[in-house]
């Protein structure tokens, strides 16, 4: 059922976003290049439900290497 698959995808996406929330804090030490990388990563995650037609087509964006 696509609804269940989309719910699982959104849950995983939300977990991945939450795992990078700390990078958005004003006192987090991050370079401009790193900020651009993490911003693009987070945008790609947020865009998944709108950019993909079928749940089976989801390709997760690669997390920036400086984030553990």
Q: What is the pLDDT of residue 35?
A: 95
Series of mean pLDDT values for 10-residue runs along the chain (68 residues): 90 96 95 96 94 89 92
Return all residues near 58 (Cβ < 8 A) that are at least 6 apart: 9, 48, 52
What is the pLDDT at residue 68?
Answer: 78
Question: Tokens standing for 21?
Answer: 């929330």
């Amino acid at each position: 059922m696509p609804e269940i698959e989309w719910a699982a995808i959104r849950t995983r996406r939300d977990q991945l976003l939450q795992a990078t929330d700390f990078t958005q804090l004003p006192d987090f030490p991050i370079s401009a290049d790193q900020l651009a990388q993490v911003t693009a990563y987070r945008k790609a995650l947020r865009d998944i439900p709108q950019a993909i037609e079928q749940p089976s087509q989801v390709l997760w964006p690669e997390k920036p290497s400086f984030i553990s």
